[in-house]
Each structure stands twice: as structure tokens, then as C-alpha cells.
Amino acid sequence: MRRRSVAPEDILAPHTPAVRTLCERLRRHVSKTIPDADEVAYPVWHAIGYRHPEAGYFCGIFPYTDHVKLYFEFGVMLDDPDGLLEGEGKQTRYVYVKSAKDIRVGSLEQLLQQATSLRIRKVRKKN
């Protein structure tokens, strides 16, 4: 039996309008900043992830009950002069988004661009 494909909208459907709105803003921002990234729904993670043709997976939007986290796969490596990144893991970091004012466009754009360029350099170095 073939599984039904899951869309990002399926991930967002059970959430409140406020959380969906935050996710939609982040989705638009990621797509605008990294236009060649593919958006993929990850039902097991309950997230919307982004893959770049050269960089691979670099970030994901994770909706929660009353907030959203924008995770960066290799966030520990990112320069974060505005102090947006949170987390204590060995590799990932996230931006905690509770309201629209937490979506700091210029700062997020820099993080997204760094995330893809770091991964592209790392992948090219391997090859």
C-alpha cells in the first residue's frame, strides 16, 4: 500500500490560527531568502524542513502549542551577533518565535544565508 504524501499544510492544520500565521510568515521568509530551497513536510518530526540542492537539510520550522521554533541544523556554527539563537545541543540551535515581533527579518536572513553557505562549503570540501 502506498502512503499518502504529506504537505506542509497538513503539519499546520491542527494548530491555532496564531501559530499557523507565524509559520506562514517564516515559510515566506525562508523561501524569499533561499529561493532554491525545497520545502518538505516531515510528519514524524511534525515539522516543515528546508533542503538546498547543494547544502542539503539546513533548517526547519517546528510548530508547538503556543509558539514556533526555527531550527538550524548546524546552528552551533552560525555567527549570531543579535543573540537570537537558543539551545544547548552539540549541533542545532533555534530561534524561539512567540509573536510576529520575534521574526526579525534582517537577522533571520543573515542566519539563513549563513546556514546554507556553511553547508555548501562543508559539502564541497568533502568532495
Q: How confident is the model at residue 121 (pLDDT cuts 50, 70, 90)?
A: low
Instruction: Specify whether the CB–CB gap between 96 and 108 falls below 8 A.
Output: no
Where are the chain's structural domains?
8-126
Structure confidence by residue, pLDDT tens digits, 37-92: 999 999 999 999 999 998 899 999 999 999 999 999 999 999 999 999 999 999 99
Length of the chain: 127
Between residues 89 and 127, which one has the greater pLDDT? 89
Percent of the chain scored above 90 by pLDDT?
Answer: 86
Q: How confident is the model at residue 5 (pLDDT cuts 50, 70, 90)?
A: confident
DSSP symbols for 104-123: -HHHHHHHHHHHHHHHHHHH
Looking up cell 534582517 gives: 106
Q: How confident is the model at residue 4 (pLDDT cuts 50, 70, 90)?
A: low
Structure confidence by residue, pLDDT tens digits, 43-55: 999 999 999 998 8
What is the predicted pLDDT for the residue at 118? 79
CATH number assigned to the domain covering 8-126: 3.90.1150.200
Rounded to two decimals, the pTM is 0.91
